[in-house]
Structure 1
Amino acid sequence: MRLLRTDKIQLVEVYSSDVEPYAILSHTWGEEEVLFQDIQHPELADCNWNDSPENVDVDHLPPTARLCFRKKGFQKVRNAALLARRQGFSFIWIDTCCIDKSSSAELSEAINSMFQWYKNAQVCYAYLADANSDEDEDPFERGSAFWQSRWFTRGWTLQELIAPRQVEFYTRQWCHLGGKTPHSEFTDLIVKRTLRLLFPGKSNADFGRHTVKN
C-alpha cells in the first residue's frame, strides 16, 4: 500500500503491520487527475503542500514532474492533503496517485484491497466536486446540490460510504456539509439515498424506516 504524505509531495510504501493512522479520499474522477506517474518523482519531495502552485519553483524539476502542478486535479489532491494535515494525519490515501494503474498486478491487488483500506482509514473525505456551498440550502431536500451530486450515482462509492467508520462530506469549495458516524440518522439517510439511486426500482420501504425528505 502506498500513502501520500501530507506535509510534502511524496509517496511512501507502507505495510499492514506498521501503517500509521491515515485519512482517505472518496471522489469521482474529473479532467486531468494527478496520477502515480505524475507524483512519483523524488524531486517533488522538496515541494510543500502549503506552497501554492503559483509560487513553487519548478525550474529544478524534470519536465514530467512540472506537469503535476498544471493539472486540473492538482488542487483537489493538495486540498485533501492539507485538510488531513490540519486534522493531525501524516498520511492520506488517494486512488488516482497512490496506485500505479500501469501495473495490472498492482491494480488487481488494489481493487481486492479497496474495502479494507477504506475500513482501516480513520476518516474518509467524500469530495462532491459538483456540489457548491450554500448555507441556506437544506442538504436533505430533494434537488439540493448534496443529493444531486454524481458521487451518489457511482457504484463504487457505496463501499466507500459503508466501509469507513467516519465519512465527512465536502463541497466543491471544501466546505463541510456533514458527516456519517456510526448509529446516526444522517448515516441512515445517506446510505438509503445512495441505495435508491443505485437501485431505482426499489422504494424507501425496501431500505428500512427512514426516508429522504421530498
Structure 2
Amino acid sequence: MDFNFIEQQIPVYVDAAKVTLIMAFGGILLAIIIGLLCSIIRYVRIPVLKQIVGFYIELSRNTPLLIQLFFLYFGLPKIGIILSSEQCAIIGVAFLGGSYMSEAFRSGLDNVADIQVESALSLGMTKVQTFVHIILPQAVSNSIPAFCANIIFLIKETSVFSAVALADLMFVTKDLIGVHYKTDESLLMLVIAYLIILLPISLICTFIERRVRYAEYGD
C-alpha cells in the first residue's frame, strides 16, 4: 500500500467529492419537489395528471439511472437538445429520485387516519386548510424513514456519473487506476470518501427519525 500516493491524491478526491455532493443534492432537491407534487396529484386523484404521474413513476423506477443518463447525454443531442454532464447528472437524479420520493410521500399520505380529516372538516376547516395543516405535516412525519433511505440510495447512485464524463469520485478513481495502476490505493480512497459522505447523513437521519417518533408517541 503506497501511502505517499494516497496523501498526494487526497486533494483530487476532495474536489471529486465536492462535485459528487453538488450534483447529488441538486438532483435530490428537485426530486423532493417532484415527488411531493406527484404524490399530491395521486392523492387528490386529478384526472389525466394521475395517469401521467403513474406512467412516469413506472418508467423511472423500472429503468436504471445509467440508461437514463445515456439517453440524456447521448440520445437528446440527436434531436438537437445538448446538455452538459452536470445538467445530465442533476436531471437524472431528479428523474429517478422523484418517483421514489413520490412513493415515500404517498405512503405517508395514505397512513393519515381518515378520522383526522373528518375531524378537521367537522370543525369548519376547508379541504385546503385540512390538507396543509392536518394531512401534510403528518404525511411528512410518516415518510421520514423512507425519505432518508431514498437520499442515501440516490447519493450511492451517483457512482454512475462517470459514464457521462463527469469528474466525480468514481471517474477520478478509474482515471487514477488507469494512469498510475494504483488499484488498491484508489479503491481504498473511494470507499473512505463515500463513508465520509454517507455515514454522517445516515446518523443524522437516524436522529431525526427518533425525534419524530418521540414527538408522535412519546418517550
Same fold (TM over 0.5): no
Q: Which has the larger radius of gyration?
A: 2
TM-score of the superposed pair, with normalisation by structure 1: 0.26
TM-score of the superposed pair, with normalisation by structure 2: 0.25
Higher percent of residues as helix: 2
